[in-house]
Amino acid sequence: MIKIDSTTQTCSNCPIRPRAICSRCTGEELDELGKIKYYKTYSPGASVVLMGDPMTFVASVVSGVATLSRSMADGRMQMVGMLLPSDFIGRPGRDIASFDVTAVSELTLCHFHKRAFEKVTSSTPHVQERLVEIVLDELDATREWMLLLGRKTAREKIASFLLICARRLGTQEGESLQMSLPLTRDAMSDYLGLTIETVSRQMAALKRDGVLVLEGTRKVTIPDLNRLLDEAGDDSDGATLP
Amino acid sequence: MIKIDSTTQTCSNCPIRPRAICSRCTGEELDELGKIKYYKTYSPGASVVLMGDPMTFVASVVSGVATLSRSMADGRMQMVGMLLPSDFIGRPGRDIASFDVTAVSELTLCHFHKRAFEKVTSSTPHVQERLVEIVLDELDATREWMLLLGRKTAREKIASFLLICARRLGTQEGESLQMSLPLTRDAMSDYLGLTIETVSRQMAALKRDGVLVLEGTRKVTIPDLNRLLDEAGDDSDGATLP
DNA sequence: TGGAGAAATTGATTAGGATCAAGGTTTGCC
DNA sequence: GGCAAACCTTGATCCTAATCAATTTCTCCA
Where along chain B do its domains lie? 4-148, 153-232
Q: Is the pLDDT of residue A9 over 70?
A: no
B134 sits in the region (left: phi over 0; alpha: psi -120 to 50; else beta) called alpha
Chain A: residue whose CA lies nearest to B144:
A70
Q: What share of chain B is helix, strand, coil (3-state, %, to 5)?
A: 40, 25, 35
The whole-angstrom distance between B235's CA and the closest CA on chain A is 6
**pLDDT the model gives residue A7:** 29
Confidence of residue A4 (pLDDT cuts 50, 70, 90): very low
Mean pLDDT is lowest, of A11-20, A148-157, B95-104, for: A11-20
| Closest CA relative to residue A20, chosen from A121, A167, A164, A160 | A121
Q: Counting Cβ atoms within 10 Å, is residue A103 exposed (0-12), middle (13-18) or buried (19+)?
A: buried
Q: CB–CB of A143 and B81 under 8 A?
A: yes
Q: Is the pLDDT of residue B124 over 90?
A: no
Q: Does A50 touch chain B (CB under 8 A)?
A: no
What was the ipTM of the complex prediction? Answer: 0.86
**pLDDT the model gives residue A111:** 87
Residue B198 CA and nucleotide D18 C1' are separated, in Å, by 9
Q: Is the pLDDT of residue B105 over 50?
A: yes
Q: What is the mean pLDDT of residues B103-132?
A: 82
Domains B4-148 and B153-232 are alike in CATH topology: no
Distance CA B89, CA B232 (A): 28
Confidence of residue B20 (pLDDT cuts 50, 70, 90): very low
Q: What is the share, in percent, of chain B residues with pLDDT greater than 70?
A: 82
User: In one letter, which amino acid is A240?
Assistant: T
Mean pLDDT is lowest, of A71-85, B22-36, B76-90, for: B22-36
Measured between beta carbons, the chain B residues lying within 8 angstroms of A142 are: 139, 142-143, 146
Q: Is the pLDDT of residue A186 over 70?
A: yes
The whole-angstrom distance between A180's CA and the closest CA on chain B is 25
- For residue range B184-242, list pLDDT tens digits in order: 999 999 999 999 999 999 999 999 999 999 998 999 999 999 999 999 987 554 444 33
Q: What is the mean pLDDT of residues B26-37?
A: 57
**pLDDT the model gives residue A86:** 79
Query: Residues near A189 by Cβ (< 8 Å), separated by ≥ 6?
Result: A195, A196, A198, A199
Nucleotide nearest to B150 (CA to C1'): C17
Q: What is the mean pLDDT of residues B129-146?
A: 88
Distance CA B32, CA A105 (A): 51
Q: Does B223 touch chain A (CB under 8 A)?
A: no
Question: Looking at domain B153-232, which CATH architecture does it have?
Answer: Orthogonal Bundle (1.10)
**pLDDT the model gives residue B3:** 31
Q: What is the mean pLDDT of residues A193-202?
A: 97
**pLDDT the model gives residue B37:** 79
Q: Does A24 touch chain B (CB under 8 A)?
A: no
Do the beta carbons of residue B149 and residue A149 sit within 8 Å? Answer: yes
The whole-angstrom distance between B98's CA and the closest CA on chain A is 7
Q: Which CATH class is domain B4-148?
A: mainly beta
Nucleotides of D under 7 A from a protein CB: 7-12, 16-21, 26-27
Query: Residues near B220 by Cβ (< 8 Å), separated by ≥ 6?
Result: B162, B165, B178, B179, B180, B181, B212, B213, B214
User: Across chain B, what does the average pLDDT equal?
Assistant: 82
CATH match for A152-232 among 3.20.20.140, 1.10.3720.10, 1.10.10.10, 3.30.70.100: 1.10.10.10
